[in-house]
Chain A
Amino acid sequence: MYLLIILIPLLSAVGSGLGGRYLGGKGAGLLTSVWVMASCFISLILCYEILINGSPVYIELGRWIESDLLMTNFGLQFDMVTAVMLIVVTTISGLVHIYSTSYMREDPHLPRFMSYLSIFTFFMLVLVTSNNYVQLFIGWEGVGLCSYLLINFWFTRIQANKAAIKAMLINRIGDIGLILAIILIWKEFGVLDYCSLFSTVSSSSTCTWICLFLTIGAAGKSAQLGLHTWLPDAMEGPTPVSALIHAATMVTAGVFLIIRSAPLFDHSPTATIIVGLVGSLTAFFAATVGLVQSDIKKVIAYSTCSQLGYMIMACGTYNCLSSLYHLLTHAFFKALLFLGAGSIIHSLLDEQDLRKMGGIIRSLPLTYILMLIGSLSLAGFPYLSGFYSKDLILELTYNSYCLISIYWLASITAFLTAFYSFRLIYLSFVAKPNLTLMSAQHLQESDWNLLGPLLVLGVGSILVGYIAQNMVFAPGLRPLPFAPTIISLAPVIMSVTGILLVFILSPYIIYYVSRPSLYGFLFYAWEFNQIANYYIGSTVWKFGHTVSYLTIDRGILEILGPTGIARLLIDRTRDISRLQSGLLFNYALIILVGAALALNYLLVN
């Protein structure tokens, strides 16, 4: 059964990918949905065994790399972290599969889409269940590949191509960090599987470097500050992809990496503080940018970025389990928000602009309720799932003995989060209608294949936080923050203020950028793209063109190599053949000179 949970998505992907033309769109959708849901139920059974009955499982499958100094096995490890990730991955993936059968119904390439989704699930499962860093890296690269394929699913669109390449390249920077970390781990400790490594880990300066490289890896995959620019662009992909990969699962792989490597981070306070700072800055940055975005998917994408910042920040306060807990709840409400946004977009005939929505509350009541649940949960409203995990992280941050600025950034972020999530609700549902006549006439709820997953996720967003708190924090060891009452109440006050502020400021929350201003600065995401394009992109481009291409490749190497030698030979032979002028007296002169030289040579010797 432990192997089955990994193999089922693989077989489903192969079946749908290779047999897609025989199955057709509907058949492929049915096949993959059923199989991935089966995988989901298996993961629930596994979670019962692992989390509730407390029986981690360790499976050795076989040897992979075997040399004198390096031993790497194929192996699976099902412990608590893996179990929580299994729930996240298989549940969200299963629901997204079902959702896609309705959302992508008109698409002629549905079998390919379902195949990509399934192979993504497979790679994600490989990532979370591996028992060593090398096998983790397979999954890590695999989900990056699937991210590329899925963003680029509509490959005829130039924006989709560009976004996919961008996602791949920026992820690659993080991957280099991870590779360097793996190499350093091998150099320092000589082992790569978790059990051996974490039993031999010790404090050293190399440990700090390992942790920093791991942080770079996590920053690339989890869209932390500096390497985050691919995530908003990845919204070019279909909405189910955004929900599955760029909200719930793949982007949490970076957080998973840090949670998995927590024993390493325990030995390096420097790296841990850096992780906390990076996380809190990302959370704050993304929240401010989310305030002013006009694309409904980009608002949610930046909120994902912000929540990932929370998770990373929680890792930076030595509380990886609370980070894992937030990962679990976040997966549910963020998938709900994305799929809900997909439902709105679908109903409005593929309109993504918040400025062209409004007043659809009467036509889409169910979507409205579900989006409201998701947004309240995201804002940390009491007794929804976001409340449990987010408040815990905020209080733990206040409690931790590192920089207090992290706490303030996180608190402001909590306020901003509430504001932008309700700005989204307000603009899309409550505000005055701003629709086109065409989409207003066609406005209706989608079918149950699309709404069913939303309902399940809605229930999940309400309940998961409460149910999971005793499962994640194994037997009753939930961390108890010591914070004054006002600090404990602060997040709730913040979020309620943020929600109310939306309705106070409602005439001003949408705005058309006309000139450089603070609004424009936030709208263009702190100009990160422009700065990176201008200072890094074009510099590297110029360097590549002038130095690598013109000077070295087509310059020095070409002259020392083929072109130069060929030109030399041609010129010299032309010179020699010019010697033969055709005039008799020249030949006679050459003969005489030659004879004289030969005679001279003979006489001298």
Chain B
Amino acid sequence: MSYLILSIVILLIGILGIILNRSNLIIMLMCVELVLLASTILLLFESRVLYTLSGQIFAIMILTVAAAESAIGLAIMVNYYRLRGTIAVRAINLLRG
């Protein structure tokens, strides 16, 4: 049960970090990592409780996806920094409707 609460708390921290963060794009990426971490913890906990392996398989898949995502995300961020000289989130609003 405490694992469940832990994963939900991490998920909420990640989500709030994405929404409330105004300054830095790196924090946003880290928060995405937190969300993925929370889901991984939840999957592992579930595989432990239900005695199945599929949870762990999914956890490994998510680790892979998370690694790839952070790699691509960082690459985008670096490119963005080269272009604009800043990675503040509040500055990324040129595509408003």
Q: Which residues of A contact B (CB under 8 A)?
A: 577-585, 588-589, 592
Contacts and interface: CB of A to CB of B under 8 A. Distances in A.
B97 A585 contact: no
Given A577-B97, A578-B97, A589 B92 contact: no
Given A589-B19, A592-B15, A584 B97 contact: no
Contacts of A582: 92-97
Nearest to B21: A585
A585 B18 contact: yes
Given A577-B97, A582-B93, A584-B92, 17 more contacts: A582-B92, A582-B95, A582-B96, A582-B97, A583-B89, A583-B90, A583-B92, A583-B96, A584-B28, A585-B18, A585-B19, A585-B22, A585-B28, A585-B89, A588-B18, A592-B15, A592-B19
Interface in B75-97: 89-90, 92-97
B97 A579 contact: yes
A577 B97 CA distance: 5
26 contacts: A577-B97, A578-B97, A579-B97, A580-B96, A581-B93, A581-B96, A581-B97, A582-B92, A582-B94, A582-B95, A582-B97, A583-B89, A583-B92, A583-B93, A583-B96, A584-B28, A584-B89, A584-B92, A585-B20, A585-B28, A585-B89, A588-B15, A588-B18, A589-B19, A592-B15, A592-B19
A479 B12 CA distance: 117
A595 to B, nearest CB: 10
Contacts of A583: 89-90, 92-93, 96
Contacts of A588: 15, 18-19
A579 B97 CA distance: 7
A23 to B, nearest CB: 74
Interface in B1-39: 15, 18-22, 28
Interface in B40-97: 89-90, 92-97
- Consensus secondary structure, chain A interface: helix
Nearest to B93: A582
Contacts of A581: 93, 96-97
Contacts of A578: 97
Contacts of B28: 584-585
Contacts of A577: 97
A577 B42 CA distance: 38
Q: What 8 pairs across the A-B complex have the smallest Cβ distances?
A: A580-B97, A582-B96, A582-B93, A577-B97, A583-B93, A588-B18, A582-B95, A585-B19
B29 to A, nearest CB: 11
A573 to B, nearest CB: 10
A589 B18 CA distance: 9
A578 to B, nearest CB: 7
A578 B96 CA distance: 8
Contacts of B89: 583-585
Contacts of B94: 582
A580 B18 CA distance: 17
B75 to A, nearest CB: 17
A376 B8 CA distance: 121
A272 B92 CA distance: 92
A582 B22 CA distance: 13
A571 to B, nearest CB: 15
B97 to A, nearest CB: 3
Nearest to B28: A584
Contacts of B92: 582-584
Nearest to B89: A584
A588 B18 CA distance: 7
Nearest to A579: B97
A588 B89 CA distance: 12
A570 to B, nearest CB: 14
B30 to A, nearest CB: 14
Contacts of B20: 585
A574 to B, nearest CB: 10
A589 B19 CA distance: 6
Contacts of B93: 581-583
Nearest to B25: A584
A34 to B, nearest CB: 83
Contacts of B19: 585, 588-589, 592
A152 to B, nearest CB: 61
A599 to B, nearest CB: 14
Contacts of A585: 18-22, 28, 89
A194 B20 CA distance: 95
Contacts of B97: 577-582
Contacts of A592: 15, 19
Nearest to B20: A585
Nearest to B32: A588
A123 B95 CA distance: 75
A132 B6 CA distance: 104
A584 B94 CA distance: 11
Contacts of A579: 97
B81 to A, nearest CB: 16
A582 B89 CA distance: 10
Nearest to A586: B19
A582 B96 CA distance: 4
B66 to A, nearest CB: 17
Contacts of B90: 583
B59 to A, nearest CB: 22
A598 to B, nearest CB: 16
